[in-house]
Amino acid sequence: MAEALKFIEKAQHAQANLIEVRLDYLEETRNLQDLCKSTKTPLIATNKLKTENGYFAGSEQEREQTLLNAIKSGFEYVDVDFAILERNQTITKLIDLGAKVIVSYHKFDGILMASAMNKILDEMIDSGASICKIVLTAKRVEDNLPIIDFVVSASKKTKIVCFCMGKEGRISRLLSPVFGADFTFASLEQGFETVPGQMSISEIKAAYNLLRLE
């Protein structure tokens, strides 16, 4: 928890617009309100199971309760995985507590056709998502092009976060907000990446400054 407080302070200093807290990285989650009191920057609570490349080893019910506790503690956003069986019930509970729900889908072995992404997007919208997050993996630079095109159309329907992971996916990670995505994700510093291809907040801000996009 002390380390999380230190990282939140650094993220504030770096002028992050949102701060994602990976609850599955924490040794304990009893005093989540301390994290919320430490910053005015909105916090996103994310708690990923090992099956989702996370570290949470408890049951789905325990994970849900941790997310509910995060909202009660002052988190503004919470991330709910698209694939969980009790997704819609969990979302309803979170919305009843005032949460802004990010429903997230990750594909770690490639991209999807536009028709498949639109089907996922429509299901996310129907579930009550405040923000729909669809993250894929680029195997080659060209894989970014259909993803950017999807962002343009999807952003007209809802708030969308969509880009490609991987070294070849940096283009869409960087430029998706230019084409309508609500935001993109960055690591706090180099060496703290949670997935391959993630850029640091300083790298993204420098690129935006160079391109005169800020």
What confidence tens digit (pLDDT) does each residue in 157-186 have?
A: 999 999 999 999 999 999 999 999 999 999
Mean pLDDT (the chain, rounded): 94
Give tens-digit pLDDT for 83-118. 988 999 999 999 999 999 999 999 999 999 999 999
Q: Are residues 89 and 162 in the same domain?
A: no
Question: Does the pLDDT of residue 53 top 80, yes or no?
Answer: no
Give tens-digit pLDDT for 4-39. 999 999 999 999 999 999 999 998 888 999 999 999
Give the span between the Cα atoms of 100 and 87, in whole angstroms. Answer: 14
Q: Are residues 77 and 122 in the same domain?
A: no
Q: Are residues 113 and 37 in the same domain?
A: no
Q: What is the pTM of this model?
A: 0.94
What is the residue range of 101's domain?
Answer: 1-106
Q: How confident is the model at residue 210 (pLDDT cuts 50, 70, 90)?
A: very high
Give the per-residue pLDDT at 89.
Answer: 95
Give the per-residue pLDDT at 87.
Answer: 94
Q: How confident is the model at residue 214 (pLDDT cuts 50, 70, 90)?
A: low
Whether 58 and 23 have beta carbons less than 8 Å apart is answered as: no
Q: Are residues 89 and 143 in the same domain?
A: no
Please tell me which residue, 52 or 75, carries the higher pLDDT value.
75
Identify the residue whose tokens are 């976060």.
161
Phi–psi pair at 188, nearest 5 degrees: -65, -40
* First-to-final CA distance of the chain: 33
Give the per-residue pLDDT at 56.
Answer: 87
Q: Are residues 3 and 101 in the same domain?
A: yes
Question: Does the pLDDT of residue 150 top 80, yes or no?
Answer: yes
Contacts of 142 (CB under 8 A, 6+ apart): none
Residue ending a domain, choose from 106, 135, 159: 106
Q: Are residues 79 and 119 in the same domain?
A: no
| Residue 48's CATH number | 3.20.20.70
Q: Are residues 53 and 85 in the same domain?
A: yes
Identify the residue whose tokens are 């729909």.
132
Q: Give the total number of structural domains in the chain.
A: 2
Mean pLDDT of 47-76: 89
